[in-house]
Amino acid sequence: MATQTTSTRARRVPALWERVQAAGGLAPYFLVLPTMLVILVIAVYPMLDSLRISLLDNPLINSPSFVGLDNFVRVLGDPLFRTAMGTTAIFTLVSVFLEITLGLGVAVLINKAFVGRGVVRASILVPWAFPTVVSAQMWLLMYNDQIGIATSILQGLHLLAPGDTLLGSYWGVMIASFITDIWKTTPFAALLLLAGLQVIPAELYEAASVDGSTRWQQFWQITLPMLRNQLLITLLFRSLDAVRVFDLFYVFGGRKVPSMAVYANIKMFAGTPGDFAPGVAAAVVVFICGILISLILVPMMRDIMKQ
């Protein structure tokens, strides 16, 4: 009987207050309270308010009526928004794949010891330091049909007709967006992957070399498996950023080739008062896409960390 009582006490789950006291009391909660309040004000409240607005008929009038999911049905039924969804999906898949692939190659190169490595590591981050809208305006000049150097090169290679520009067609805008985004964001992917490469023990490569493994075999059997979590983190960050792309398509495509974010902006700020709520609904759809990406990738990272 005494043994059973002792076992029952040992299995007793600590109460909430006991767990709080064991973790340092209320002091940690008071320390993070200002940060949590700021997050609630600048992040959580706007999201909840946007969801509320998306369920109203015309939120710009004094007494808007509740229409439920009608704005979402209206947006999803718009052929232009469906085209914008396809544009955003293609941009996300192509740009993220190429950025991670090229970023991995750059990370492997600058992970090696060579003269001037510090300067190279710092210089490759220069494109990433520019705001996206600034980068888009820079490349817009290079795509100009009269003075753009990119247009001159493409015309010289007979890939464009004289007087034509890359931004004159749907796929031209897509290619221009791919080039600009890859130029700007590949250094960011390389930086994240470089951090993962630097924590791989050099002894693993030395042991593989002794066993007769080639560099290519070491890359597939050591580097990539050890970089799985870092690759998923890079994929998460870049996918979330790409799915809400706005600046590039706003500058290059505008109304002709909008992304989902550009569509939402046009509806909210360049349409009629009745278009404001559908525009907010489109923005909520973009947010939901980001949530779905997180729900897919975050559990995968947790599973890798448990291994």
For the residues of 26-70, what is the DSSP string, one character each? THHHHHHHHHHHHHIIIIIHHHHHHHHHHTBS-TTSSSPPB-TTH
**Other residues' Cβ atoms within 10 Å of the Cβ of residue 106:** 20
> Is the model's pLDDT at 293 over the cut of 60?
yes
Quote the CA–CA distance of 32 and 50 in Å, as a whole number. 26
Q: Looking at residues 215-222, what average pLDDT do you find?
A: 84
Neighbours of 217 (CB within 10 A): 12
Query: What pLDDT sits at residue 93?
Result: 95
pLDDT of 91 reads: 94
The domain ranges of the chain are 76-306
Spatial neighbors of 214 by CB under 8 A, at least 6 apart, are: none
Nearest alpha carbon to residue 240 among 287, 275, 207, 203: 287
305 vs 101 pLDDT, higher one: 101
pLDDT of residue 13: 61
pLDDT, mean of residues 247-256: 87
**Confidence class of residue 145 from pLDDT cuts 50, 70 and 90?**
confident
Q: What is the pLDDT of residues 190-216, one digit of tens each?
A: 988 988 888 888 888 888 888 888 888
User: Cα separation of 223 and 200, whole Å?
Assistant: 8
Alpha helices in the chain (DSSP H): 2-10, 16-22, 27-39, 45-54, 70-76, 79-110, 117-123, 126-129, 132-142, 149-156, 170-197, 202-210, 215-218, 224-226, 228-243, 247-252, 260-269, 276-306
What is the pTM assigned to this prediction? 0.82
Query: What confidence score (pLDDT) does residue 4 get?
Result: 52
- pLDDT cut 70: percent of the chain above it: 90
| pLDDT tens profile 9-57 | 556 666 666 666 666 667 777 778 888 888 888 888 888 888 888 888 8
Instruction: Say what the pLDDT of residue 229 is.
Output: 87
Q: What is the pLDDT of residue 206?
A: 82
Which class does domain 76-306 fall in?
mainly alpha
Mean pLDDT of 175-202: 89
More confident residue, 8 or 156: 156
pLDDT at 62 over 80: no
Kindly indicate the confidence band of residue 303, based on its pLDDT and cuts at 50, 70 and 90.
low
